[in-house]
Protein backbone atom coordinates (compact mmCIF):
# COMPACT_ATOMS: atom_id res chain seq x y z
CA UNK A 1 0.00 0.00 0.00
CA UNK A 2 1.50 3.31 -1.05
CA UNK A 3 1.50 6.45 1.08
CA UNK A 4 -1.52 8.01 -0.61
CA UNK A 5 -3.59 4.86 -0.05
CA UNK A 6 -2.51 4.77 3.61
CA UNK A 7 -3.68 8.36 4.09
CA UNK A 8 -7.00 7.68 2.34
CA UNK A 9 -7.58 4.53 4.40
CA UNK A 10 -6.84 6.45 7.61
CA UNK A 11 -9.21 9.23 6.49
CA UNK A 12 -12.05 6.78 5.92
CA UNK A 13 -11.47 5.21 9.33
CA UNK A 14 -11.37 8.62 11.02
CA UNK A 15 -14.68 9.51 9.36
CA UNK A 16 -16.23 6.27 10.66
CA UNK A 17 -14.85 7.04 14.14
CA UNK A 18 -16.16 10.62 13.92
CA UNK A 19 -12.74 11.96 14.96
CA UNK A 20 -13.07 15.54 13.69
CA UNK A 21 -9.50 16.68 14.42
CA UNK A 22 -8.07 13.64 12.67
CA UNK A 23 -10.45 14.01 9.70
CA UNK A 24 -9.53 17.66 9.16
CA UNK A 25 -5.79 16.96 9.36
CA UNK A 26 -5.99 13.99 6.99
CA UNK A 27 -8.01 16.09 4.56
CA UNK A 28 -5.25 18.72 4.63
CA UNK A 29 -2.73 15.99 3.78
CA UNK A 30 -4.90 14.76 0.89
CA UNK A 31 -5.26 18.31 -0.41
CA UNK A 32 -1.49 18.86 -0.28
CA UNK A 33 -0.92 15.61 -2.19
CA UNK A 34 -3.52 16.62 -4.78
CA UNK A 35 -1.87 20.05 -5.15
CA UNK A 36 1.48 18.36 -5.80
CA UNK A 37 -0.12 16.06 -8.36
CA UNK A 38 -1.67 19.04 -10.18
CA UNK A 39 1.65 20.91 -10.11
CA UNK A 40 3.41 17.87 -11.58
CA UNK A 41 0.81 17.64 -14.31
CA UNK A 42 1.15 21.37 -15.04
CA UNK A 43 4.91 21.03 -15.46
CA UNK A 44 4.39 18.56 -18.28
CA UNK A 45 4.81 15.56 -16.01
CA UNK A 46 2.50 12.58 -16.09
CA UNK A 47 0.82 13.38 -12.78
CA UNK A 48 -2.53 12.22 -14.16
CA UNK A 49 -1.35 8.67 -14.77
CA UNK A 50 1.18 7.91 -12.07
CA UNK A 51 0.25 10.31 -9.28
CA UNK A 52 2.84 11.43 -6.77
CA UNK A 53 5.56 9.10 -5.55
CA UNK A 54 5.98 8.01 -1.96
CA UNK A 55 9.15 10.13 -1.76
CA UNK A 56 7.15 13.21 -2.81
CA UNK A 57 4.47 12.41 -0.20
CA UNK A 58 7.18 12.08 2.47
CA UNK A 59 8.57 15.46 1.43
CA UNK A 60 5.09 16.99 1.64
CA UNK A 61 4.53 15.51 5.11
CA UNK A 62 7.93 16.73 6.32
CA UNK A 63 7.15 20.22 5.06
CA UNK A 64 3.73 20.19 6.75
CA UNK A 65 5.30 19.09 10.04
CA UNK A 66 7.91 21.84 9.88
CA UNK A 67 5.24 24.47 9.11
CA UNK A 68 3.18 23.38 12.11
CA UNK A 69 6.19 23.42 14.42
CA UNK A 70 6.90 27.01 13.40
CA UNK A 71 3.23 27.94 13.87
CA UNK A 72 3.12 26.33 17.32
CA UNK A 73 6.21 28.28 18.34
CA UNK A 74 4.68 31.54 17.07
CA UNK A 75 1.38 30.84 18.87
CA UNK A 76 3.23 30.16 22.13
CA UNK A 77 5.13 33.42 21.83
CA UNK A 78 1.83 35.20 21.19
CA UNK A 79 0.23 33.60 24.25
CA UNK A 80 -2.23 31.49 22.22
CA UNK A 81 -1.59 28.14 23.89
CA UNK A 82 -4.88 26.68 22.61
CA UNK A 83 -3.81 27.19 19.00
CA UNK A 84 -0.29 25.92 19.74
CA UNK A 85 -1.80 22.73 21.17
CA UNK A 86 -3.93 22.25 18.05
CA UNK A 87 -0.81 22.53 15.88
CA UNK A 88 0.93 19.90 18.03
CA UNK A 89 -2.03 17.55 17.65
CA UNK A 90 -1.83 17.96 13.87
CA UNK A 91 1.91 17.22 14.01
CA UNK A 92 1.21 13.95 15.85
CA UNK A 93 -1.27 12.87 13.19
CA UNK A 94 1.07 13.77 10.32
CA UNK A 95 4.04 12.02 11.95
CA UNK A 96 2.11 8.73 11.97
CA UNK A 97 2.84 8.54 8.24
CA UNK A 98 6.50 9.53 8.44
CA UNK A 99 9.26 6.96 8.97
CA UNK A 100 11.05 6.93 12.33
CA UNK A 101 13.30 9.96 12.71
CA UNK A 102 16.99 9.21 13.06
CA UNK A 103 18.74 10.30 16.26
CA UNK A 104 21.92 12.42 16.22
CA UNK A 105 24.31 9.45 16.22
CA UNK A 106 22.43 7.78 13.36
CA UNK A 107 22.45 11.05 11.37
CA UNK A 108 26.21 11.45 11.94
CA UNK A 109 26.79 7.86 10.78
CA UNK A 110 24.60 8.45 7.69
CA UNK A 111 26.55 11.63 6.84
CA UNK A 112 29.86 9.75 7.19
CA UNK A 113 28.58 6.91 5.01
CA UNK A 114 27.28 9.33 2.34
CA UNK A 115 30.59 11.22 2.24
CA UNK A 116 32.46 7.94 1.78
CA UNK A 117 29.97 6.61 -0.81
CA UNK A 118 30.20 9.74 -2.98
CA UNK A 119 33.97 10.11 -2.56
CA UNK A 120 33.42 13.72 -1.50
CA UNK A 121 36.58 15.48 -0.37
CA UNK A 122 35.77 19.19 -0.54
CA UNK A 123 32.92 21.62 0.05
CA UNK A 124 32.26 21.60 -3.71
CA UNK A 125 30.98 18.04 -3.32
CA UNK A 126 28.33 19.03 -0.77
CA UNK A 127 25.54 18.80 -3.37
CA UNK A 128 26.45 15.19 -4.17
CA UNK A 129 26.44 14.26 -0.50
CA UNK A 130 23.10 15.97 0.16
CA UNK A 131 21.56 14.28 -2.90
CA UNK A 132 22.77 10.90 -1.59
CA UNK A 133 21.26 11.59 1.84
CA UNK A 134 17.95 12.79 0.40
CA UNK A 135 17.75 9.71 -1.79
CA UNK A 136 18.18 7.35 1.15
CA UNK A 137 16.74 9.20 4.14
CA UNK A 138 13.82 11.32 2.91
CA UNK A 139 11.52 11.98 5.85
CA UNK A 140 13.94 10.49 8.37
CA UNK A 141 16.07 13.56 9.07
CA UNK A 142 15.86 17.34 9.04
CA UNK A 143 18.01 18.38 6.10
CA UNK A 144 18.18 21.94 7.41
CA UNK A 145 20.19 20.60 10.36
CA UNK A 146 22.10 18.02 8.29
CA UNK A 147 23.50 20.58 5.84
CA UNK A 148 25.82 22.23 8.40
CA UNK A 149 26.96 18.77 9.59
CA UNK A 150 27.92 17.82 6.03
CA UNK A 151 29.67 21.16 5.56
CA UNK A 152 31.65 20.73 8.80
CA UNK A 153 32.66 17.21 7.82
CA UNK A 154 33.79 18.28 4.34
CA UNK A 155 35.65 21.34 5.65
CA UNK A 156 37.37 19.21 8.30
CA UNK A 157 38.45 16.83 5.54
CA UNK A 158 40.30 19.64 3.73
CA UNK A 159 42.33 20.66 6.77
Shared-domain flag, residues 111 and 80: no
- Boundary-marking domain end, from 42, 60, 95: 95
- What DSSP assignment string belongs to 92-112? HHHHTTSPPPP-HHHHHHHHH
Is pLDDT of 88 > 80?
Answer: yes
9-64 pLDDT, tens digit each: 999 999 999 999 999 999 999 999 999 988 888 776 554 456 788 888 888 998 89
d(CA 110, CA 63): 21
Q: Into how many domains does the chain fold? A: 2
pLDDT at 149: 87
140 by Cβ neighbours in 10 Å (0-12 / 13-18 / 19+) ranks as: middle
Query: Both 14 and 72 in a single domain?
Result: yes
| Domain residue limits at 118 | 104-158
Give the global pTM.
0.71
Amino acid sequence: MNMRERVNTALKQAMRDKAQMRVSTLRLICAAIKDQEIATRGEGGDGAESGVTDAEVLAILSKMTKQRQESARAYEEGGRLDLAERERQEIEIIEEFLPKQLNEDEVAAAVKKAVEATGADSIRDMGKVMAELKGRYTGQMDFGKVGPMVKDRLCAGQA
